[in-house]
Structure 1
Amino acid sequence: MVRTVIPFGRPAPNAEIDAEADAFVADRLREEQGKDARAPHGQIGEVWDALGQLDASDFAVDERPAPSRRGLIVGGALAASFALGGVLLWRGQPVIHETALGERRMVDLPDGSRVTLNTATRLAARFDGDRREVVFEAGEALFEVAHRDGAPFDVLSQDGRIRVTGTRFNVYRQAAFTQVDLLEGGVTAGPAKGVGAAVRLRPGQAVRLSTAGQPGPIFVAQAGRIDDWNHGRISFDGASLGEAVAEMNRYSRTPLRVLNPSLNRLPIDGVFEAGDTAAFARAVGRLHGVAARTDGKAWTLS
């Protein structure tokens, strides 16, 4: 059903008084008596929920010059509700930060914290009063959190929670787990819903949280790898070709393909520019005598 918006204008001098409009005004006045002038949050939410049902065709303009008094009243009430509701919802809505494949970007957050997003990363940040929360949806990011008394900083990934007050740490979300590497300060990592025990990390330690948020064994943080991606490079020390190919492909739109699965066990050492799959393919070819070919869309190793 198309809802028509009629341009506002003055009614004709001899226009007959709209009894229905008078009743509408009287009802609204009775409702307002004894109430707080501020609109209840639930009513604002209902207005915005209604807006979500509209599309462009719902706002077609009718050229009729004389609107009814009821149309003027309803239109004005909706406009005021939209304005107030928009302000409240804007303050509570998360802000999305994301990077494309091969892109890195640094973002300054409203509380003075800073986050550097690695390739193909997406997170939603919500800051409202003492609430500081980031929902980690994909990828990898390095956080430098500003200390604020009484306002913890939470990172939610899958069903896990990483909580800090002021620290520097890396979060890398993969399909089967989320890895947390602590470089400075302290973090607590565990289930977001408090089901099960959380672990407390010290600088130089790391842990992997399962998709349910359960922490595994604590191990040494990969500070060198984190420093590498922050400077646009990737280093391998005894990695398998299969592992190296998967890491290189995180940064490039010209991916690597290994035709013979037995090649995946070849050892790879060296430092490469993130995203430069051509240089990587040629280096593997020279080192292991592997044929490296490209069709312009991908590199094939065989």
Structure 2
Amino acid sequence: MDDHAAGTELTDGAAAWLVALDAGTADRAAFERWRDADVRHAVAFAEVAATWRTLDGVRALRPLQQPAQPMPAPRRASRRMVLRGAIGTGIAVATGGGFAYSAYARDRAETGVGERRMIRIDDGLTVDLNTDSILYWRTGGDRPTLWLDRGEAAIDCRNGATPIDLRTPSGHLKLGGGSFNARLGASECALTVLDGSAAAGDRTAHGGERLSLTADTARIEPDDDAAIERMRGWRQGVLVLEGDRLDHALAEYNRYLRHKIAIGEPKLAGLRLGGRFSTSDVGEFLSAMHASFGIVARRDADGTILLVTA
């Protein structure tokens, strides 16, 4: 096989992995074995991923409020062929959601339900990963890049001269020096700027503001003190409640619990709660519920904790 044919085969293989990763059909462990087996595999995948990243950068230049114009689909070329052609010509072509290039990152961290993990990316960048979260990252090049794939992360960037790229399923943000809290919802990323600044397209949020990012919009609004206290609290293993309804409080608390708490009587849903509770010791919370409201906890056969009046 000549060098050209070998290079084409490598690119096809890398593009196939990227397409499968984007579709959610790839075995990530198998992909990582393939990538790490030969440096040429890693280089080919990096080229494909770089094309994908270029596309994402082109998307970021489009005003967030303006819908993308649909591109005509090729009639015969496969997505692997389109990616191969894009690499050869420098043309970026859309082949999916644009998030599968997280596989380009060499480093990955994950927390289970109820776990937290502190990650030191480099001397000026640390990330505190909250419960049930996944983060990828890559250093080198002109700036570090983070991919928040699931959950919530507190990001401390103390090197203001080097902005951070934060990529999420909802879009792309640039973080200057400062402290930030990023949380993924069903269809948006909510980024609170504790200090410093963050930008999405032409929108910039500053300290005390929340930037809510969806696939095609960016909204900035002041964040309230109670919400900021909750963000600071989870980093200390504490759930902070300030007049929250019981049903809302449980939705938040259950993020940290393998055995969830459920309301056994509808009338209890509107009870208002205040205080600071350990996210790792549910007994403390249940004792407070009994002392304050006479509510008792019963366990179902599946482990669910049911709250009812005595």
* 2:206 maps to 1:202: yes
* 2:148 maps to 1:136: yes
TM-superposed CA distance for 1:268, in Å, is: 0.6
Pick from 271, 295, 298 the counterpart of residue 276 of structure 2: 271
Instruction: Write the distance in 2 (CA, Å) between the matches of 1:113 and 1:89.
Output: 29
Secondary structure (helix, strand or coil) at the match of 2:277 reads: strand
Instruction: Write the distance in 1 (CA, Å) between the matches of 2:246 and 2:215.
Output: 27
* 2:298 maps to 1:293: yes
Alignment CA distance shift 1:88-1:159 (3 Å) = same
TM-superposed CA distance for 1:103, in Å, is: 0.6
* Aligned positions of 1:82-231 closer than 5 A: 83-88=38-43, 93-94=104-105, 95-110=107-122, 112-147=124-159, 149=161, 151-188=162-199, 190=200, 194=201, 197-198=202-203, 200-220=204-224, 222-231=227-236
Out of 121-130 and 262-271, give the one that drifted further. 121-130
Instruction: Write the distance in 2 (CA, Å) between the matches of 1:235 and 1:185.
Output: 24
Q: Taking structure 1 as the reference length, what is the TM-score of the superposition? A: 0.66
- Structure having the higher helix fraction is 2
Paired residues of 1:106 and 1:115 also in contact (CA < 8 A): yes
TM-superposed CA distance for 1:116, in Å, is: 0.7
Alignment CA distance shift 1:116-1:90 (3 Å) = farther
Instruction: Write the distance in 2 (CA, Å) between the matches of 1:185 and 1:40.
Output: 48
Alignment CA distance shift 1:235-1:269 (3 Å) = same
Instruction: Write the distance in 1 (CA, Å) between the matches of 2:45 and 2:254.
Output: 37
Paired residues of 1:186 and 1:203 also in contact (CA < 8 A): yes
Q: Aligned-pair RMSD on alpha carbons?
A: 3.2
Counterpart residue identity of residue 140, structure 1: E
Secondary structure (helix, strand or coil) at the match of 1:215 reads: strand
Counterpart residue identity of residue 139, structure 2: F
TM-superposed CA distance for 1:111, in Å, is: 6.7
Counterpart residue identity of residue 168, structure 2: S
Alignment CA distance shift 1:50-1:176 (3 Å) = closer
Secondary structure (helix, strand or coil) at the match of 1:291 reads: strand
Alignment CA distance shift 1:47-1:251 (3 Å) = closer
TM-superposed CA distance for 1:210, in Å, is: 3.5
**1:255 maps to what in 2?**
260
Instruction: Write the distance in 1 (CA, Å) between the matches of 2:174 and 2:283.
Output: 40
* 2:193 maps to 1:238: no
Alignment CA distance shift 1:84-1:230 (3 Å) = closer
Question: When the two structures are aligned, how many residues end up with a matched partner?
Answer: 233
Alignment CA distance shift 1:135-1:272 (3 Å) = same
Q: Deviations over 1:84-110 (max 9, x none)?
A: 414526877213221110110011115
Paired residues of 2:11 and 2:45 also in contact (CA < 8 A): no
Counterpart residue identity of residue 166, structure 2: V
Instruction: Write the distance in 1 (CA, Å) between the matches of 2:182 and 2:42.
Output: 32
Paired residues of 1:232 and 1:273 also in contact (CA < 8 A): yes
Percent identity between the two aligned chains: 26
* 2:12 maps to 1:46: yes
Out of 240-249 and 270-279, give the one that drifted further. 270-279
**1:8 maps to what in 2?**
none
Paired residues of 1:120 and 1:138 also in contact (CA < 8 A): yes
Secondary structure (helix, strand or coil) at the match of 1:207 reads: strand
Instruction: Write the distance in 2 (CA, Å) between the matches of 1:274 and 1:300.
Output: 18
TM-superposed CA distance for 1:47, in Å, is: 5.3
Paired residues of 1:206 and 1:220 also in contact (CA < 8 A): no
Instruction: Write the distance in 1 (CA, Å) between the matches of 2:282 and 2:290.
Output: 12
Runs ≥4 in structure 1, deviation > 6 angstroms?
Answer: 49-53
Which structure 1 segments of 5+ residues have no match?
1-23, 33-38, 56-81
